[in-house]
Amino acid sequence: MLGRESMETFVTVYGNITVRKLFAGPELEVLEYEYDEGYFYLVAPRSDSGVKTYEVRTGTLRLVAEGKELFPGDLVALESGGEDLHVHVNKGTRLLVHAYRVHALRGTLERMTATDAVLEAIQAKDNFTGEHSLRVQHLVRLMALRMGYSGKLLRHLLDAARFHDVGKVFVPDDILNKPDRLTPEEYEVMKRHVIDGDSLIRGKIEDGEHVWEIIVQHHEHLDGSGYPQGLKGDAISQSSGILAVADAFDAMTAERVYWPVKSVEDAVEELKRHAGLRYDRAAVSTLIEVLKDKGILE
């Protein structure tokens, strides 16, 4: 048995998880997860063999894809090679986790630690960037679920949304926080954030290669006027198109010293004007549906 020194809190892309190790052996580890309210993933074992079980101890858990509610005593088992489960939990929900084969669990904790380090780097550099990314991730989640995303595709897109501006940690402060319009030279430096974040994503977070493929295209435009590669049309992934629309909407409606704030209605009109030119039509239409459902847009 392990004592209090085994308890750690991880700041993940989805929210905080407190992990308590209750038992560690060569073929089995037993943990307790306690969550903040939000959307998370129950992770399947990544090893060639193994099983992880998640038992609800307190609180409630909802399987997003199925809409099924789990209550204390309910249990979910995930085998190696299976899909991770996208779930919503209420604050204070606790799960008892049994990981058969210790390295499967160790990998999960290592990924949490790596994610924590990237998030800290973003927040330390620019508080607005961190808050903007959370808002964009929320919009992307609502849009992607409406557009039929699930499983790993959904997870990759949500991670890309959370980390899409991670490269800004390398942008000089005097450019990142400049209260005036950027010069052409400064704008070229700013544009590099979609390239320079590579080192913080690949190999650092789970499936970083796939996540980065979405991030690096989120400033591309259908007509080829975007950056960094000037991609056109179908060369831009649908996931990047969803992220681009959510990112543009939040950028237009969020208050910043150097950026005139648009109303929700004006921002939507701007997106509609560029739908099919810069932005994916389906993504723009889906965002409008989401905003109407939430009562943000009439």
- Total residues belonging to the chain: 298
Q: What CATH number did the domain enclosing 243 receive? A: 1.10.3210.10
In this structure, the answer to whether residues 69 and 134 fall within a common structural domain is: no
In this structure, the answer to whether residues 98 and 152 fall within a common structural domain is: no
* pLDDT tens track for 224-269: 999 999 999 999 999 999 999 999 999 999 876 556 789 999 999 9
**Counting beta carbons within 10 angstroms of the beta carbon of residue 154, is it exposed (0 to 12), middle (13 to 18) or buried (19 or more)?**
buried
pLDDT of 227 reads: 94
Helix (H, G, I), strand (E, B) or coil at 138: helix
Q: Is the pTM of this model over 0.75?
A: no
In this structure, the answer to whether residues 97 and 133 fall within a common structural domain is: no
Residue 47 clears pLDDT 70, i.e. is over it:
no
Please answer whether residues 280 and 244 qualify as being in contact, where contact means their C-beta atoms are separated by less than 8 angstroms.
yes
pLDDT of 116 reads: 65
* pLDDT tens track for 53-81: 999 999 999 999 888 999 998 999 988 87
In this structure, the answer to whether residues 172 and 103 fall within a common structural domain is: no
Please answer whether residues 56 and 73 qualify as being in contact, where contact means their C-beta atoms are separated by less than 8 angstroms.
yes
Please answer whether residues 86 and 65 qualify as being in contact, where contact means their C-beta atoms are separated by less than 8 angstroms.
yes
In this structure, the answer to whether residues 277 and 131 fall within a common structural domain is: yes
Residue 1 clears pLDDT 50, i.e. is over it:
no
In this structure, the answer to whether residues 133 and 87 fall within a common structural domain is: no
pLDDT of 150 reads: 84
The rounded radius of gyration (Å) of the Cα atoms in the chain is 20
* pLDDT tens track for 171-219: 888 888 787 888 999 999 999 988 888 877 887 777 889 999 999 999 9
Q: At what angle do helices 238-253 and 208-215 cross, to 10 degrees?
A: 60
**CA–CA separation, 175 vs 31, rounded Å?**
45
In this structure, the answer to whether residues 165 and 227 fall within a common structural domain is: yes
Please state the domain count of the chain.
2
- Of 109, 138, 161, the one marking the end of a domain is 109
Q: Tell me if 220 is assigned to some domain.
A: yes
What the block records as the tokens of 70 is 């789990």
* pLDDT tens track for 108-118: 666 666 666 66
In this structure, the answer to whether residues 85 and 174 fall within a common structural domain is: no
Q: Tell me if 229 is assigned to some domain.
A: yes
Q: Tell me if 116 is assigned to some domain.
A: no
Q: DSSP letters of 263-282?
A: PHHHHHHHHHHHBTTTB-HH
What's 48's DSSP letter? S
- Of 78, 109, 140, the one marking the end of a domain is 109
Token match 């179908």: residue?
Answer: 234
Could you tell me whether strands 68-70 and 94-100 are parallel, antiparallel, or unpaired per DSSP bridges?
unpaired
Domain coverage including residue 156 = 126-293
In this structure, the answer to whether residues 150 and 248 fall within a common structural domain is: yes
In this structure, the answer to whether residues 269 and 157 fall within a common structural domain is: yes
pLDDT of 2 reads: 40
Residue 240: closest CA among 260, 210, 265: 210
In this structure, the answer to whether residues 81 and 154 fall within a common structural domain is: no
In this structure, the answer to whether residues 160 and 71 fall within a common structural domain is: no
